[in-house]
Amino acid sequence: MLMTALFLLLLALGIGGLGWLLQRWTSLPHGEVLKEDMSDARASPPLFAPRYRLVGRPDYLIRQRKAIIPVEVKATRAPRYPHPSHVMQLVAYCLLVEETFGLRPPYGWIRYRDRSFQVEYTPELREELLRVLASMRRDLERGEAHRQHRSPARCRACGFRTICDESLV
């Protein structure tokens, strides 16, 4: 009985230690990893905000006390400042967390290969996201949504490439 209890204690410490190591190696914010979609995106359903017709799957959700922090991981080297598109993606995840869990995250986290950025989830950024979403929907309804890059690799990875008139591949 004592050996079983000792084994279970060591197992619990080992699992906790693995979580601590994962956060150290990936430079994630401290807290409990609630959701991780880095290894298999099909493992958990995406977050959905019907009111905003918005769906997304953050790479990580970290619980810190009563807050849930979305984390977006990028494979590239960090720019001097986060790219505006990456900030909007993260703000979308913040909105999805707010709508799904009823908890407004104070910030989100963008992790590049060599550096991380904490992005405050401000009312101004939330409003900017809603304006961007409205603009995107208007463009789609008018048939005026155009490709905004010159990267064949991005086109290859795009889910709309088979129906896109502007695909580079």
Q: Is the pLDDT of residue 21 over 70?
A: no
Rounded to whole angstroms, how far apart are CA atoms 28 and 33?
9
Element (H, E) at 71: strand 67-73
Domain boundaries along the sequence of the chain: 25-142
Torsion-angle region of 68 (φ positive above 0: left; ψ -120 to 50: alpha; else: beta): beta
The answer to whether the Cα torsion of 70, 66, 47, 148 is positive or negative is: negative
Which overall architecture, per CATH, does domain 25-142 show? Alpha-Beta Complex (3.90)
Q: Name the residue type at position 3.
A: M
55-107 pLDDT per residue, tens:
999 999 999 888 999 999 999 999 999 999 999 999 999 999 999 999 999 99
Rounded to whole angstroms, how far apart are CA atoms 60 and 70?
6
Phi, psi (rounded to 5 degrees) for 148: -120, 40
pLDDT band at 16 (very low <50, low <70, confident <90, very high): very low
